[in-house]
Structure 1
Amino acid sequence: MDSFRPLLAIGTLSAVLALGFFCGVPTHCVQLPNGLNIGKQALIDLSRPYFRPDIVPKFDNGKSLLPGDAWPFYATETTVYGLALEADPDNDFWFAWREDTGLVLKVENAALYEELISEAGTPLGNKGVRGVDSHIVMMELQRRPEYVNQTCRTRWIVVGTGDL
């Protein structure tokens, strides 16, 4: 029996690490009232300088809504919208997301995009400043008591867009 203890310990540790790798780990984030979270895209992003991940809007399972940072970025009670920045400026896109419509790109459906923006309401965490990115919105919201010490799932590692 004693000879199996090291194997049992290694097997248990491997199972816990594999579960954490595939399901993600809890990290600090902001849980928005519209159903999305703002937080790190992953703990490590192998496609970015110094492997520092972007702060992105993401779902509860840790999957990102966007391929990277957004500038400007707005989060309201019902909607998240702004300009998603890609590595290539020719691929940047204006987006809006609401729970009932999902992700809407301005180039694909301009009328619905404009409707979502007009119905969005007052931005959270922008302090009246237009043109801030998702990092600033997250920082500002984390200063409010209702968003302090919130956590959500975050992937361990992403390469590029994180399989969007």
Structure 2
Amino acid sequence: MDLPIFALTGLQSLKFGDCVRLPNGIEIGYEAYVDFSRPYLRPVTVLRTPSGAVIGQEVSPIHITDKAAFGSAWVDYDNPKSDFKFIWTAGTGVAKKTEDPELYLRLSQDLGETYYGAQKDRNTNTLWLFNRLLKEDQFQSDQCSTSLWAW
């Protein structure tokens, strides 16, 4: 049983082993090479902190600047509405609007000037932004925090 799972993981890693790393340290990539809970074993695209912690399975709208990543996050991809609004910076980590409104407000006043992948006024999701940034060589990374599989 172990050999077929590892063979499947190896094949999936060719397609789902990519990630992009932004200058502020944030990473967008696949949650795992194989996701046994999803149709066709296809993993979801996630936003990760530099330490590899997943912020959300889906973030939409998502914006990434030279200083921050922010948006509305779904912890579970299949939820009907987002779980929380957040701003991530290297100095503070994830600040959720509902848990620390003062910090969230302070961070929202200085999000940075340079937007990566999409213009400031364009609302995109994690997968769209990932595919857009993957086309730019400067963001491609070979050090992805992708798990072997997810359930």
For normalisation by structure 2, the TM-score amounts to 0.76
Check the 8 A contact 1:84/1:94 in 2, yes or no.
yes
Check the 8 A contact 1:73/1:83 in 2, yes or no.
yes
2:37 maps to 1:50: no
1:117 equivalent in structure 2: 108
2:131 equivalent in structure 1: 139
1:96 to 79, 87, 95: 87
Query: 5+ unaligned residues in a row in structure 1: which ranges?
Result: 1-13, 160-164
Label 1:63 to 1:42 Cα distance change in 2 as closer, same or farther (>3 A): farther
Amino acid in structure 2 at the alignment position of 1:119: D
- How many corresponding residue pairs? 137
User: CA offset at residue 123 of structure 1?
Assistant: 2.3
2:118 equivalent in structure 1: 126
Find the aligned partners of 1:142 and 1:112 in 2 and give their Cα distance.
32
Find the aligned partners of 1:82 and 1:147 in 2 and give their Cα distance.
20
2:25 equivalent in structure 1: 35
2:73 to 66, 84, 90: 84
Structure in which a larger fraction of residues adopt helix: 1
Amino acid in structure 1 at the alignment position of 2:43: P
Label 1:59 to 1:111 Cα distance change in 2 as closer, same or farther (>3 A): closer
1:6 equivalent in structure 2: none
Label 1:61 to 1:156 Cα distance change in 2 as closer, same or farther (>3 A): farther
Check the 8 A contact 1:62/1:155 in 2, yes or no.
no
Check the 8 A contact 1:40/1:154 in 2, yes or no.
yes
Check the 8 A contact 1:41/1:58 in 2, yes or no.
no
For normalisation by structure 1, the TM-score amounts to 0.71
| Rg larger for | 1
2:84 maps to 1:106: no
1:72 to 61, 69, 73: 61
User: CA offset at residue 128 of structure 1?
Assistant: 5.0
CA RMSD between the two structures = 2.7
Amino acid in structure 1 at the alignment position of 2:70: Y
User: CA offset at residue 98 of structure 1?
Assistant: 0.9
